[in-house]
Amino acid sequence: MNRLDKIKSKQAIIGIVGLGYVGLPLACAFCQQNIHVVGFDIDQEKINTIEKNQSYIKHIGDDAIKEMRADGLFNVTTDFAKIADVDVIIICVPTPLSKHREPDLGPVLNTGRSIAPHLQKGQLVVLESSTYPGTTDSELAGVLEQSGLKKDEDFYLAYSPEREDPGNENFSTSTIPKIVGADTPLSRDLVAAVYEGVISQIVPVASSRTAEAIKLTENVFRSVNIAMVNELKVIFDAMDIDVWDVIDGAATKPFGFMPFYPGPGLGGHCIPIDPFYLTYKAREYDVPTRFIELAGEINTKMPQLVVAKTGQALSLVSEKALNGSKVLIIGMAYKKNVDDMRESPSLVLTELLEAEGAKVSYHDPYVTVIPPTRQHDDLAGRESLELTPETISQADAVLISTNHDGLDYQMMADNATLIIDTRNAMKDFPGKATVVKA
């Protein structure tokens, strides 16, 4: 049986490298279709947790892990020698930015170096990590070819961007249309067949570079539009106009307008990062990216604006300075109803507030302890406070950074002195608190 037939008949073994917010849901999707998966990760703690039939991601329950393991469909390891035992290798590792906001392909290329000694003839390697055009067919291919095998002759290579949206109840891994791009018809057929077994709609495109560009375009689109409404928020605030009312009104137009909403900054792994991957690559071609860079500049400045607004509000409402004031941040995750801390603006807000002398605490039902992060390790280990009338009343300012569902916003309105609302969460909850939108 050739490789394509093996994949189509669901007899191929899928190897997934990186068992985070992309890799673990993808493993679940394959196992739900009775396809065997071997999960690889360099984090031994993740491996140990899965082997205990436990999950470390909120929207994937322990029962799902237990079922996958009980059926013998899902095995996990840190041993990359077992790459030799799989038919398809899907790479789902982070692609962060350096401290100079330049792409850091270290996780992708180091993964390639771990795979290369064990790469077998006929295997298909698929990159899912967000990156700039050319990463797959040039940089990753070059690392994999250190095995002595040749791309498109001895092994096959493709790019299929992840489109995960943690917390989205309308779409899951299996229902989000899947872009697949490769540079030869056979590689494209192979990667399409892999995902056809688990995802409802497959969208083949001309090349890996096209697929990489599609992923960046999706997130540049969001970044630019969010930057626009963030800038409008500042403009309309100066005019004493509520930007949320403006957006709600504009959204009644049935064509030509798509609502985006302001916030305290951008979070998640894609939107704050992907545009900078494109601007970096564009410099190689001497092409300016002023529009994209301006959007990034606006979005990254939002936490500073929120902190400034908090200081102004404290002075006007309580005649207090930010220095020495107690600020309770509501929500540490980057978006509501998830436990995902990647690039969360709440981390930046915490550091900026403390730099001004504020005493900062937080509440988040999904992030009970702040985990280690690449840029904010000094905050790791801090624990969420219980949300009670006492904790609310003791704060000089309550800053809503993430508007999780299920929180008692009325209790906040009734017990807080000052609420800084970056998410329009308090619109339906009148109370004694002074609410300042930021």
Q: Which residues contact 374 (CB under 8 A, 6 or more apart)?
A: 96
**3 state DSSP class of 218:** helix
- Which among 288, 333, 338, 327 has a CA at the least distance from the CA of 436? 327
Q: Which residues share a beta bridge with 281?
A: none
DSSP string, 81-144: GGGGG-SEEEE-----B-TTS-B--HHHHHHHHHHGGG--TT-EEEE-S---TTIIIIIIHHHH
Q: Which residues contact 392 (CB under 8 A, 6 or more apart)?
A: 328, 398, 411, 412, 415, 416
* Residues 154, 135 contacting (CB under 8 angstroms): no
Cα gap 223→265, rounded to integer Å: 11
DSSP string, 296-316: HHHHHHHHHHHHHHHHHHHHH
Tokens of 306: 């929120």
Cα gap 247→268, rounded to integer Å: 23
Cα gap 99→86, rounded to integer Å: 36
92 catalytic residue (yes or no): no
Q: Which of 28, 31, 92, 270 is catalytic?
A: 270
Q: Which residues are catalytic?
A: 270
